[in-house]
């Protein structure tokens, strides 16, 4: 069965879910999952912001203009509180259908969602995510001890990769070279093919 492709990327480093992430989704995602597009280990940060609906404001301005226009059209003697109330009721009744329309609700909620890749893959992402969560008063998903352990492990891997790149010597025909990201920067990893 072909793997599902997700249209998400980490907001902190731009990485996308790996094939392994997609394989794990098949195993760990429930059928009634509320967030089926969230791979295992990934974090989804959703911000919702309530603001005044511009359409509601415009509707109120139109209604106020009609009330003022109809009231001003009355003779001086007819401009009473009762007349103003009657005109207001007529204008409200005229626009009652729009008032019930969700497009003209008094406020709207804007929503933005971003994704963060698993902390284990990138120490900088892990630290940024942890700082964000702490600043919002949310308990981080990765402890300080785990971050220190990750940093040590990445340091050891970077040293190993650097040693491997230095000891393999110059490239010869059929050798492959790849760039590997480490906390210290990019390291060239060479793979030798045996003939």
Give the pLDDT confidence score for residue 147 in this predicted structure.
76
Beta strands in the chain (DSSP E): 43-52, 107-116, 176-182, 185-191
- CA separation (Å) from 98 to 34, 58, 101, 104? 32, 12, 5, 6
Instruction: Identify the pLDDT of residue 53.
Output: 94
Which pLDDT score is estimated for 1?
44
Q: Residues 23-73: pLDDT tens digits?
A: 777 776 666 666 667 888 888 888 999 999 999 999 999 999 999 999 999
Cα–chain-centroid distance for residue 137? 18
Tell me what pLDDT residue 7 has.
81
Nearest-angstrom CA–CA distance, 134 and 141: 10
At residue 195, the pLDDT reads 44
pLDDT number for residue 2: 47
Q: What is the pTM of this model?
A: 0.58
For the chain, residues with pLDDT lower than 50 are: 1-2, 171-172, 183-184, 186, 192-195
Tell me if 22 sits within 8 A of 6, measured CB to CB.
yes
Q: Which pLDDT value is given to residue 142?
A: 75
pLDDT at 194: 45
């Amino acid at each position: 069965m072909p793997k599902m492709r997700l249209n998400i990327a980490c907001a902190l480093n731009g990485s996308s879910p790996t094939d392994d992430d997609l394989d794990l989704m098949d195993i760990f995602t429930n059928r009634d999952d509320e967030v089926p597009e969230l791979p295992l280990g990934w974090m989804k940060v959703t911000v919702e912001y309530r603001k005044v609906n511009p359409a509601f404001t415009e509707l109120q301005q139109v209604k106020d203009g009609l009330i003022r226009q109809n009231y001003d059209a009355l003779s001086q003697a007819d401009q009473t509180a009762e007349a103003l109330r009657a005109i207001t009721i007529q204008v409200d009744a005229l626009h009652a259908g729009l008032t019930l329309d969700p497009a003209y609700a008094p406020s709207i909620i804007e929503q933005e969602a971003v994704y963060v890749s698993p902390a284990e893959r990138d120490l900088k992402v892990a630290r940024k995510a942890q700082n964000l969560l702490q600043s919002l008063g949310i308990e981080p998903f990765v402890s300080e001890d785990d971050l220190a352990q990750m940093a040590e492990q990445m340091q050891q891997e970077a040293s190993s990769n650097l040693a491997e790149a230095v000891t393999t010597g110059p490239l010869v025909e059929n050798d492959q070279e790849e760039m590997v990201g480490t906390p210290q920067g990019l390291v060239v990893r060479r793979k030798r093919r045996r003939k």
